[in-house]
Amino acid sequence: MPTQRTRAPTALVAAAFVMTLSSAFGQTYFIGLFGPWLKEELHLTDGSFGTLYMIGTLASAAVLMWSGRIADVFRIRRLAVIVLLGLAATALAMSLAPSAILLLPVIFGLRLFGQGYLGHLAMTGVGRWYVRRRGRMMSVAVLGFPASEAVMPFAAVALIGAVGWRETWQIVAAFLCFVSVPLVLLFLRREPAPGEAAETAETQAATRRDWTRADVLRQPVFYALLAGIVTPPFIVTGILFHQATLVATKGWTMAWFTAWFPVYALASVATALITGALIDRFTARQLLPGYLLPLAIGVTVLALTDALYAAPVFMALAAMTNGAAQTLIGALWAELFGIRHLGAIRSVTFAAMVFSTALAPALMGILLDAGVRLEAQYLTMAGYTLFSAVLLRALGPRLNRIAATT
């Protein structure tokens, strides 16, 4: 018998927004801003810096895949506070990094707590708490990503110029402790128990089967999905990690390139909100095939011209794919596999995306050291993006059959 329909409180999605906003400090676009100072003071090349970044990120992905299921056992409130404090401690350690060897565990911590756990906890929570409004609430939660992309690079560049790069990381640690942690504690006072949705009536109507992680890992279609879904994080991470090299190659200034992060953010926000409404009207799997096309066009433009307009064009088009992905992929796993084991399932998919973000900087750095031009790398990326779009389109019938049992 269905129970009386209830609506999840909006404070839950506000907490998820704080987590996605705070994840900025472990994201590549933020860490990459410190690349010139890190390489100069620690005597690193593009390739060695990228390799350190890859090792730290791969290690964080492995830990996340192993431990991500804790989101199915413990309340998000408790986990989020621990993660935010861990990220603050790592940011403080970054301000003290004296050598390349000691930089490695710092990168590991930033990637694990920032990019890894905070995004994982936020998306798992929203996917579990909301059912009928999952698309719209997911689109609100992910607004923390573009909001941070709009503000954090500009703020970081300004702070580095005013107080220095090491002192900037100390300010980051203070922000996490005295802003992010109190807000999460405030907004998650009424968090539902793990494994429960806050919109109770809809769970019984919409969830007939909850897949376990073992069930999902036995499905070949899951791996085909991952091959397409990791495309945006791989490409965008690689480009933004080596943004200083991109700017120098194109003859631009860093101020010109970072000035377009607000455009990136606005386009991402608009696309995320539109995608969320469309998910609730249609389904995430129906929208899946087309979301990669803007990125393919944007990377192609970046490869083919040095004109100043290439920066805003790339930023806007990449943001359209990124904004759609953040909402779309966040809703897709709950739509396909249910919510009871969502944390365990998402930990695998999130780890795969983190793995792709580890591979891109190292691979691009090695290719740059070997003399492979950025333009050639970008054209290859554009070709793979188009291939991934075709792959996701071909998976549609199989995804519909899976969703029919969930």
Q: The pTM is what?
A: 0.74
Q: How confident is the model at residue 193 (pLDDT cuts 50, 70, 90)?
A: low
* pLDDT for 209: 66
Q: What is the mean pLDDT of residues 395-404?
A: 86
Q: What is the mean pLDDT of residues 339-358?
A: 82
Q: What is the mean pLDDT of residues 49-55?
A: 84
Q: What is the mean pLDDT of residues 139-152?
A: 84
* pLDDT for 69: 80
Domain parsing of the chain, residue ranges: 11-189+201-404
Checking 171-180 for CB contacts under 8 A at 24+ apart, the result is 172/25, 172/88, 172/91, 173/88, 173/89, 173/91, 173/92, 173/95, 174/88, 176/22, 176/25, 176/84, 176/85, 176/87, 176/88, 176/91, 177/84, 177/85, 177/88, 180/18, 180/19, 180/21, 180/22, 180/84
Please give the residue that has the higher pLDDT: either 403 or 96. 96
Per DSSP, which regions of 186-333 are E strands?
A: none
Pick the CATH number of 11-189+201-404 from 1.20.1250.20, 3.40.50.970, 3.30.160.70, 3.30.390.50: 1.20.1250.20
Residue 243 has pLDDT above 80, yes or no: yes
Please give the residue that has the higher pLDDT: either 47 or 36. 36
Instruction: Kindly give, in sequence order, each residue whose CB lies less than 8 Å from that of residue 233, ignoring residues fewer than 6 positions away.
Output: 353, 354, 356, 357, 360
Residue 334 has pLDDT above 70, yes or no: yes
* pLDDT for 88: 97
Q: What is the mean pLDDT of residues 41-59?
A: 84
Residue 118 has pLDDT above 90, yes or no: yes
Q: What is the mean pLDDT of residues 186-215?
A: 66
* pLDDT for 345: 86
Percent of the chain with pLDDT over 90: 38
Per mean pLDDT, which range of 7-21, 151-165, 315-329 is the poorest? 7-21
* pLDDT for 377: 95
Residue 123 has pLDDT above 60, yes or no: yes
Q: How confident is the model at residue 6 (pLDDT cuts 50, 70, 90)?
A: very low
* pLDDT for 406: 64
Residue 48 has pLDDT above 60, yes or no: yes
* pLDDT for 208: 56
* pLDDT for 197: 53
Residue among 165, 193, 142, 120 nearest 350 (CA): 120
Q: How confident is the model at residue 8 (pLDDT cuts 50, 70, 90)?
A: low
* pLDDT for 196: 56
Residue 313 has pLDDT above 80, yes or no: yes
Residue 12 has pLDDT above 90, yes or no: no
Q: What is the mean pLDDT of residues 59-82?
A: 87
Percent of the chain with pLDDT over 70: 93
Residue among 232, 234, 253 nearest 244 (CA): 253
* pLDDT for 321: 95
Q: What is the mean pLDDT of residues 388-406?
A: 86
